[in-house]
Amino acid sequence: MTAALPQAYFNPPRRLPFVLPTPPQGKKLISLAINESPYGCSRKAWVAAEARFGNPNRYPDPSSADLRRAIGKQFALDPERIVCGNGSEELLDVVARMFVRAGDEIIMSQSGFFQFAVVAARLGAELKRAPENDYITDVDGLLALLGPKTKLVFLAVPNNPTGTLLPVDDVIRLHENLPPEIVLVLDLAYGEYMEKVDLDRLMRYGGAKPNVVITRTFSKAYGLAALRVGWALAPDWMTPGLNLLRGVGNINAIAQAAAAAAVEDQVFVDRVVAETTAERSFLARHFTRLGLHFVPGYGNFLLTRFPDEKRKSAAKFIDLAMREEGIWLRPVGEPGFANWSRIGLGSRAENDLLVRLLEEYLK
């Protein structure tokens, strides 16, 4: 006789509903597969990280107070309403754990961010996806899915993997039509790449609502993906709960120091955004010339469709790019994108190389 095993909260699927991208090993890798910045990070962040590395025996501040103060100062926000996470990934999970139980429903756009589905799977929640118009989130489609079990709506602006931008007025209309007991999570991981007026409007609007959580990240424009730092702006009634649910020492001390310095260096961020925008136009121009179809995007990547499933497929090009130049690309995991690749924007030299390979391949 064995003792009865504890009852699981739900029956997890035998196979994960997602594939985690593992970077291939190799020194000369050109990574265009996971939306990383090719521009490194602010020199000030680097210096701050190095200084903190001198005291590795000391625990980090579990409340990330300096980092929250730096973020608050930079964006004129109350630090008490900021919650930091081990990547914004952790914060998406934490918000869901606060409001969602197995069997509850989470709503997202058809080709929304894959982490939303990961979060739902972890909790045993039902995930409902609303069809899109031209790869853009459809507000009425989302609203049509609301039901008595709906707890959370996830929305990324700009979205990943599509890169499309739901206009601010539509985000507001979505929120205005949500019952107050449903929480809207606005994932602004690519917010820095938006027009500043639009980003400010979203921050101000969402920041004033009792059922909106906004998430931001240091992984993209700030170029600190390796350190795993994200932050949320949450209503003040919600922050004690979110802080309880996050990991106690969730942001390591080196990451806290680096991110606090990075947020003060907006000159660096502006330069990254300007270069990224220029590279996006560069690739868009060449893709058009080569007859490659892509979704007009606002992030640091372009969702791109290859012309011929058999002879000129995305899969074949992905193999070829890795074999010939060590360029790491990936197919798109979401259903409906069998012959697509979400191509990250590299440096000009990397993008040049990519265009040359594409030209050769598509000839």
Ligand X SMILES: *Cc1c(COP(=O)(O)O)cnc(C)c1O
Show the tokens assigned to 282.
């560069």
Beta strands 183-187; 212-217: pairing state: parallel
Binding mask 29-68 for ligand X (x = CB under 6 A): ------x---------------------------------
Shortest CB 114 distance to ligand X, Å? 9
| Rounded distance between C-alpha atoms, residue 343 and residue 31, angstroms | 10
Quickly count: other Cβ atoms within 10 Å of residue 102's Cβ: 12
Q: Which of 37, 219, 239, 300 binds ligand X (CB under 6 A)?
A: 219
Count of residues engaged in binding ligand X, rule: CB under 6 A:
14
Residues near 61 by Cβ (< 8 Å), separated by ≥ 6? 253, 256
Shortest CB 180 distance to ligand X, Å? 25
Of residues 74, 79, 81, 77, the one with CA closest to residue 234: 81
Q: Does 154 bind ligand X (CB under 6 A)?
A: no
Structural element, H or E, at residue 109? strand 105-109
Q: Which of 96, 142, 156, 213 binds ligand X (CB under 6 A)?
A: 156
Taking CA atoms, 68 is separated from 82, 88, 259, 263, 330, in Å, by 6, 14, 10, 10, 35
Q: Does 211 bind ligand X (CB under 6 A)?
A: no
Q: Would you say 87 or 353 has its CB closer to ligand X?
A: 87
Q: Would you say 115 or 358 has its CB closer to ligand X?
A: 115
Q: Does 230 bind ligand X (CB under 6 A)?
A: yes
Q: Does 160 bind ligand X (CB under 6 A)?
A: yes
Q: Does 113 bind ligand X (CB under 6 A)?
A: yes
Structural contact between residues 143 and 174, judged by C-beta atoms closer than 8 angstroms: yes
Shortest CB 15 distance to ligand X, Å? 23
Shortest CB 260 distance to ligand X, Å? 16
Shortest CB 250 distance to ligand X, Å? 12
- Taking the CA atoms of the chain, what radius of gyration do you get in angstroms? 21
Q: Would you say 89 or 132 has its CB closer to ligand X?
A: 89
Shortest CB 194 distance to ligand X, Å? 13
b/e burial code for range 252-287 (CB count within 10 A of at least 16 → b): bbbbbbbbbbbbbbeebbeebbebbeebbeebbebb
Q: Would you say 219 or 256 has its CB closer to ligand X?
A: 219
Place of tokens 């700009």: 158
Q: Does 89 bind ligand X (CB under 6 A)?
A: yes
Q: Which residues bind ligand X (CB under 6 A)?
A: 35, 87-89, 113, 156, 160, 187, 189, 217, 219-220, 225, 230
